[in-house]
Structure 1
Amino acid sequence: MKMLINGEWRDSVSGKVFTVQNPATGDVIEEAPLGGEEDVRSAVEAAGEAFADWSAKSQRDRSKVLFFAAVEVRRRNTDLAALLTAEQGKPIREAVDEINGFANILEYYHALSAGGRGEYQDLKGYGRTLVRRRPLGICGAIIPWNMPAIIMGWKIGPALVAGNTVVLKPARTAPLTCTRLAEILGGAGLPPGVLNVVTGPGETVGREIARNPSIRKVSFTGEVETGKQVARDAAPALKRVTLELGGSDPMIVAGDADIGKAVEGVIRGRYYNCGQVCTAVKRLYVDESIADEFVRRLTARVETIAVGNGMDRGVEMGPLNNRAGLHRVAGLVEAVRERGEGAIVAGGRAPGGEEYDRGLFFLPTLITGVPHDSPLFTEEVFGPVLPVATVSGFDEALALANNSRYGLGASVWTRNADLIARATEELEAGIVWVNQHLKIPPEVPFGGTKESGIGRENGSRALEEYTEDQAVLVRL
């Protein structure tokens, strides 16, 4: 694999490479260039040269490239999904859905481009006024490894259709699918230099994207402390930032909830992608009137989840993506055992009772009786471990749900209209689901409150994140 700069596939300036491994087997899939600051600067130069011609095209013409790329992505879905599973670890069914999701995003911004964006007024005493939306220029996109295709789509879709050029850094453990998608966009007619992909570590490639004064906006998805560093690095140039910094999403199950549907909501909401989703269910609050039955049924269901290589038939949950994540999750569970501060009612270990030598597997885990100040409740646990707490009523559930530095997503499960109204008004979260969790269609703005970040991706508002107003006053 090589980097894409100005429409050319290149090695890094250093000539060094790193390996991309399959987290289910430990096998090396491919080598990728170990990019650095000079590679980013070359990409920025190419993006700057391409900006004038790309931004001068009509929004509709720019969007056609996205549409043609979406057609090709759908045609190559099987191969792309297999590549995504190999480098990221998720089951092939989830990978197919994610690749289709990338195509959905491109199609959405193609459709959205049909409507012009701007304002016109005839103001007495001032003349005719027009407010135009202008592209920002060169934008940086820093992509995580957990949902690389979807999050790439969220960032480049509105950026490109609005007339910007992009320098993109994929995650070091999952760069291959992003690079392949960029190749497809080039084949669909995206001019050289409009989208550039630089692979390598965050401390060099990512920081140069954040610092480089020619980049006018940075969109970052990742953990909180890294996001804060991105904001500090971007501040001297007063560049715009969008930060999606993860969360510790609560799920509230009221006493009148449909238990069967709520149990299945937990299964998908927590264990999808091995729990490695920013908006996954990470804290579960169940009303005491149904808690015993709910935990019993949920435990039985968790124990049916098939764990294994994502390419194998019937597998519902693959490995964690990287060894650091596995050690973090295993350490949190071991701390529960050592302190005796909770009961592990399902999972709590790697398959076979010990860590595999090669695959980064950990069984879906359910823990009850954990103190509310435990890291399982206070931190973002990026893996298949879920703490369950019993609450005495809806007031307590809301208070606990909001008692967090995070505020990305939340869900409430109830058939009571009054409780639904209270949840949507009182939950401190960027997105609130009712009797569902996790799904985010392209039309819906996505982002968090508090330390879950700033700015919004997705939806028509994302175009505003990649454009700026220019007011024009005309007197004849």
Structure 2
Amino acid sequence: MTTQPVTGERESCAVFNPADGSLVGSVPAGTADDVDDAVRRAWESFQIWSRSDPLDRSKILFTAGRLVREDQKNLAHLLTREQGKPLRESMNEIAGFARVMEYYASISGIMQGDYGVNASYGHMMVKRQPLGVCAAIIPWNMPALIMGWKIGPVLATGNTMVLKPSTTAPLTCLALAGHLYQAGLPESALRMVTGSGEVVGEALARHPDIRSLSFTGAVSTGIQVAEHAAKTLKKTILELGGSDAMIVCHDADTEAAAKGAVSGRFFNCGQTCTAIKRVFVDSRIYDSFIHRVQELVGKLVVGDGLKTGTDMGPLHTIRQRENVHSLVQGTVDNNQGTILAGGYIPDTPPYQYGNFYLPTILTDVDPDAPVMKEEVFGPVLPVSVFDTLSDAIEHANATRYGLGASIWTHDMRTINQAIQDLDAGIVWVNQHLRIPPEVPFGGMKSSGLGRENGRYALLHYLEEKTILIHP
């Protein structure tokens, strides 16, 4: 494990700035042997960490949160350089990591066992104890926050972890780990192994001595991870993305809904699993809604995330940009929608060296178009019209994903119907995207298995041992 740029002859993974292609740093290309060593050391640390007082674990997590807040600006600059998002968003993400640490510090040790007495069986106890060494594989889109989601409940419950950050955005995660060590966390309680998913990720999924694996990423990769993990009966959490629908009813606050659509779609250049990816608007307010969205999108400033005033940065990789542009062009070529704004790759200064794609609005989109079915991980807002709420919900559910959805209305009957009928692990009302650490996070259908966040996450990393004592 190292948090420094690679030297010597060992293979490395280069990290580039998505805004201009410049080299930010590099990390070791880890091997299966590195994973073996990390797991062994994590088990050694587990023998001590699992027996530590929950109050002592809380102090370390609280201290880590404080140290991260004190270094927020430096961490945010690093995150923007390697990931591409505007500095404002990076500042919020770093603060989010600190808040997650503080939240789990506040509830460490709350999952106590149970006790009772039965005349026939005597004393009955249920003891909850940590699993052992857990693993996590995290993506590049929200690396700091997702790292917090995964390590918080693991460390709070006395488990240890081996974590693989994204190959293309690992540097902030390594820096955050450094703050945890500075706060007093034993280094072997959190082992970081950098490298590719094909090597390091697969080794973690296959490893027989890892008791639980949490993965965030694409559906196809998640299925492979689950297949490997199943061979050693690991507990798994899979967060596999989404194609969140936004339903705007005729009685909605049009201004609030338009602002919500723009912020919920173009935040992080559209590269967020719970971003608004499809919009269904009541025919009675469709024109006014589209007009206001177009005005707001026209004011977005696209550019280098480190520059003041930038609202949206570049896509993380060129490949990601190609995928997004292909879906947009396919929609137009097949007469399934019309480009109202954006829809092309800018090649003039200052965009020519980065992975930029202009904020795009597609109108009158066929609900069955691929852009309305798949997860579009980029700054594209497809909008479709509906006449009845039942039609809108049917279209919203007509995808393999089921992570999140939102309903924008003030009618309680409409709200209740949406809450009941939407196939989504998260349903927002008159808002979208924001998720506090206190509530469970996860989806239905192909959006994954299990839940992260909240006290619910603690139970995943504890197992029950039943004890019966004859009187």
What residue number does 1:238 align with?
233
Q: Which runs of 5+ in 2 are unaligned?
A: none
Asked whether the equivalents of residues 355 and 361 of structure 1 are also in contact (C-alpha less than 8 Å), the reply is no
3-state secondary structure, aligned to 1:265: helix
Measure the CA separation in 1 of the matches of 2:347 and 2:316. Answer: 19
3-state secondary structure, aligned to 2:35: helix
In the alignment, residue 320 of structure 1 is paired with which amino acid? L
In the alignment, residue 78 of structure 1 is paired with which amino acid? K
Q: Residues 257-300 of structure 1, C-alpha deviation per residue, up to 9 Å, x if partnerless?
A: 00000001101110000000000000100000100111111111
Q: How high is the sequence identity, in percent, across the aligned residues? A: 51
Measure the CA separation in 1 of the matches of 2:227 and 2:9. Answer: 27
Asked whether the equivalents of residues 303 and 351 of structure 2 are also in contact (C-alpha less than 8 Å), the reply is no
Measure the CA separation in 1 of the matches of 2:37 and 2:276. Answer: 41
What residue number does 1:256 align with?
251
RMSD: 1.6
What residue number does 2:422 align with?
427
Measure the CA separation in 1 of the matches of 2:385 and 2:5. Answer: 55
Asked whether the equivalents of residues 105 and 442 of structure 1 are also in contact (C-alpha less than 8 Å), the reply is yes
What residue number does 1:3 align with?
2
Give the Å deviation of 1:131. 1.2
In the alignment, residue 16 of structure 2 is paired with which amino acid? Q
TM-aligned CA distance change 1:315 to 1:10, over 3 Å: closer
Give the Å deviation of 1:162. 0.6
Give the Å deviation of 1:124. 2.3
Give the Å deviation of 1:372. 2.1
Q: Residues 192-249 of structure 1, C-alpha deviation per residue, up to 9 Å, x if partnerless?
A: 3100001111000000000000011100000100000000000111110000000000
Asked whether the equivalents of residues 12 and 36 of structure 1 are also in contact (C-alpha less than 8 Å), the reply is no
Give the Å deviation of 1:340. 3.2
Asked whether the equivalents of residues 14 and 35 of structure 1 are also in contact (C-alpha less than 8 Å), the reply is no
In the alignment, residue 386 of structure 2 is paired with which amino acid? V
3-state secondary structure, aligned to 2:402: coil
Measure the CA separation in 2 of the matches of 1:10 and 1:86. Answer: 15
Deviates more, 1:59-68 or 1:244-253: 59-68
Question: Normalising to structure 2: TM-score of the pair?
Answer: 0.97
1:171 aligns with 2:166: yes
3-state secondary structure, aligned to 2:106: helix
Deviates more, 1:254-263 or 1:12-21: 12-21
Asked whether the equivalents of residues 106 and 153 of structure 1 are also in contact (C-alpha less than 8 Å), the reply is yes
Measure the CA separation in 2 of the matches of 1:326 and 1:389. Answer: 23
What residue number does 1:408 align with?
403
What residue number does 1:128 align with?
123
Give the Å deviation of 1:356. 4.3
Asked whether the equivalents of residues 13 and 35 of structure 1 are also in contact (C-alpha less than 8 Å), the reply is no
What residue number does 2:217 align with?
222
Give the Å deviation of 1:350. 2.5
Asked whether the equivalents of residues 3 and 12 of structure 1 are also in contact (C-alpha less than 8 Å), the reply is no
What residue number does 2:283 align with?
288
In the alignment, residue 330 of structure 1 is paired with which amino acid? H
1:325 aligns with 2:320: yes
Q: Residues 36-64 of structure 1, C-alpha deviation per residue, up to 9 Å, x if partnerless?
A: 21111111111111110010112221121
Question: Normalising to structure 1: TM-score of the pair?
Answer: 0.96
Measure the CA separation in 2 of the matches of 1:188 and 1:41. Answer: 26
1:6-155 matches, within 5 Å, as 15-113=10-108, 115-155=110-150
Asked whether the equivalents of residues 24 and 310 of structure 1 are also in contact (C-alpha less than 8 Å), the reply is yes
**Aligned counterpart in structure 1 of residue 195 of structure 2, from 200, 208, 227:** 200
In the alignment, residue 207 of structure 1 is paired with which amino acid? E
3-state secondary structure, aligned to 1:310: coil
Count of residue pairs the alignment pairs up: 471
Give the Å deviation of 1:114. 5.4
In the alignment, residue 430 of structure 1 is paired with which amino acid? G
1:160 aligns with 2:155: yes
What residue number does 1:475 align with?
470
Q: Residues 162-211 of structure 1, C-alpha deviation per residue, up to 9 Å, x if partnerless?
A: 11110000001100000000011011101131000011110000000000
Q: Which runs of 5+ in 1 are unaligned?
A: none
What residue number does 1:361 align with?
356
4+ residue stretches of structure 1 with deviation over 3 A?
Answer: 9-14, 351-357
Give the Å deviation of 1:475. 2.4
Measure the CA separation in 2 of the matches of 1:290 and 1:184. Answer: 50
1:350 aligns with 2:345: yes
What residue number does 2:382 align with?
387
Q: Residues 286-344 of structure 1, C-alpha deviation per residue, up to 9 Å, x if partnerless?
A: 00010011111111111111100001111110001111101111111122333333110
Deviates more, 1:369-378 or 1:80-89: 369-378
